[in-house]
Amino acid sequence: MEEMTTQEPRDHLSKAESLFLWLCICADFGFIVLHILYKLELLDSSYFSVKRDLGYSEFFQYTKFLWIIILLIHIIRKTKVLEYLAWVAVFAYFLADDSFQIHENIGGSIADNLDFVAPFNLRLQDIGELAVFGIAGMILLALLAWAYWRGTQTFRNISKDLLILVVIMAFFGIVIDAAEIGVDLGLFIKETLGLIDDGGEMIVASVMLWYIFRLAVHNGHIDKFLYTRLPGLSKQTAK
């Protein structure tokens, strides 16, 4: 009987991890297609829209963030690295914000107390929401900075990767969303920006889930990090 080499199980595991990522992204694109069909009036229910609060695609986002939290707790249990609780807090905020519309509700309360003309065609509601994002971001960044200072080198490398993904998600969720509202280039451009905004967030969330899934499968130990592939950082090596 032929003995299986160590490399073979690793290859199978790597393929399984890649398959998991593609499954998530294919689901995201499925929701994007359903959104387009809804906009073309081929589907009746607004729950097919990626812009709909508590719609089908949003529930898929909730599931991703919930899975990430569960996987992070599993990683903490396996590695005993309590600094991952900072990332649990980040994704718990994402889940709560999406499901309970925290930035919309609190942003609306802030907007009610504002009295000026917002720049770039933004609404006072948008200014209030940006204020909520800013405050929440500062609190979470302070928590992450504390965990980064205390954490192991592996935790720091993983935190760099996750922070890159969070920044990309923020680009879609804040910058593209603001452009959708502030730029008046016609209905088609507005709808396209809206789809890029929510579709981009969905895909980034899938990549986050895949990354944490890989980390959980390898019990908190991975040897290749995303940040080392960025221009200017490629010479850095993960320890």
The count of domains in the chain is: 1
- pLDDT, one tens digit per residue, over 54-65 is 899 999 999 999
Per-residue pLDDT at 12: 63
Residue environment code for 105-129, b if the CB has 16+ CB neighbours within 10 A, otherwise e:
ebbeebbeeeeeebeeeeebbbbbb
User: What pLDDT score was predicted for residue 30?
Assistant: 98
> Is residue 22 domain-resident?
no
User: Would 51 be classed as within a structural domain?
Assistant: no
Q: How far is CA 179 from CA 133, 172, 192, 197, in A?
A: 16, 10, 11, 10
Q: What is the mean pLDDT of residues 227-235?
A: 66
Residue 236 has pLDDT above 70, yes or no: no
Q: Chain centroid to CA 237: how far?
A: 25
Position 83 pLDDT exceeds 70:
yes
At 238 the pLDDT is 40
Structural domain harbouring 91:
57-229
Taking residues 143-163, what's their average pLDDT?
Answer: 96
Would you tell me how many other CB atoms lie within 10 Å of the CB of residue 62?
Answer: 16
pLDDT score of 190 more than 70 = yes
Residue 44 forms part of a structural domain: no
Cα(120)–Cα(34) distance, rounded to whole angstroms?
A: 31
pLDDT, residue 1, reads 41
Q: Does residue 204 belong to any structural domain of this protein?
A: yes
Q: Look at residue 105 and tell me if it is in a domain.
A: yes
Does any domain span residue 71? yes
Among 6-15, 56-65, 123-132, 170-179, name the most confident range. Answer: 56-65
| 46 within some domain | no
6 assigned to some structural domain = no
Q: What pLDDT was estimated at residue 174? A: 82
Is residue 179 pLDDT above 60, yes or no?
A: yes
Which of 7-21, 183-197, 224-238 has the lowest average pLDDT? 224-238
